[in-house]
Amino acid sequence: QVHLVESGGGLVQAGGSLRLSCAASGRTFNYNIVGWFRQAPGKEREFVAAIRWSGDSAVYADSVKGRFTISTEYAKNTVYLQMDSLAPEDTAVYYCAQQQVSRNYYVPETYDYWGMGTQVTVSS
Average pLDDT of the chain is 96
Contacts of 33 (CB under 8 A, 6+ apart): 50, 51, 52, 53, 57, 98, 99, 102, 105
Model confidence at 79, in pLDDT bands (50, 70, 90)?
Answer: very high
What is residue 77's DSSP assignment? Answer: T
pLDDT of res. 101: 86
User: What band does 118 get if pLDDT is binned at 50, 70 and 90?
Assistant: very high
pLDDT score at 96: 98
**Contact yes or no for 12/119 (Cβ under 8 A):** no
Question: Per-residue pLDDT for 27 more than 90?
Answer: no
Helix (H, G, I), strand (E, B) or coil at 97: strand
